[in-house]
Amino acid sequence: MRLLLYFTLLLSTVTLVAQEKVFHQPNAKGDWRYIYPFVDKTYVVAIQHGIKEGEEDALKTTNIYFGKVGKTDKIFWKEELQMLLTQNSVSYEDFNDDGIKDVLIFERNGARGANAFFNLYLLNPTNHTVKKVVGFNRIVNPNYNKKHKVIVSYGLAGEDFYTSIYRIDNNNKPYQIGKTFKETDDTDVDQKIADILRRNKQ
């Protein structure tokens, strides 16, 4: 079940399209990909992957920009991180229950490929803003549970799966609710989530 959810998430991604470089960096290094999160296509999230020479691993130094293109391009923010870039690295899903699908960018995987980590950026289409959820990339295999309005994390350790639940607070930071629990074939995950929420008065 957990692996099915993980692969469903990856298969429901939106392919990044390689295009001409923006932000007045026509000679910049790396593999450039672009995401257009709003109807107004002048707002762009740009991924510049592999900016440092000599990095042999697939996990490479990457810049992520959010800006606006025009006669004079503007960069609103920029960050540097280590990530694995694939053709299907981006998906859209609402993780904070505001009815707006946000941008989820795959960062890396672990546990022989079974554990995936992502960066989440919340979208505000009215104000045309993109805000990162700091610390979201520590949540393994995140999946949003609409019934309980929580983020469910399924982590593989050895041969066992461990489940944790999270929400995003008003400061756009994730926080864990209750304790992580180990799943078995007899575990009623839905009931466990309900019990944790009740005990923690959520």
Burial of 56 (0-12, 13-18, 19+ CB in 10 A): exposed
What digits encode the pLDDT tens for the residues 171-196? 999 999 999 999 888 889 999 999 99
Is the pLDDT confidence value at 12 over 50?
A: no
Smallest CA-to-CA distance from 93 within 119, 116, 114 is with: 119
| H/E run at residue 3 | helix 2-11
Nearest-10 Cα torsion for 193, 198, 201, 202: 30
pLDDT in tens, 108-162: 988 666 899 999 999 999 999 999 999 999 999 999 999 999 999 999 887 888 9
**Residue appearing with tokens 């002048």:** 42
Residue corresponding to tokens 């899903």: 93
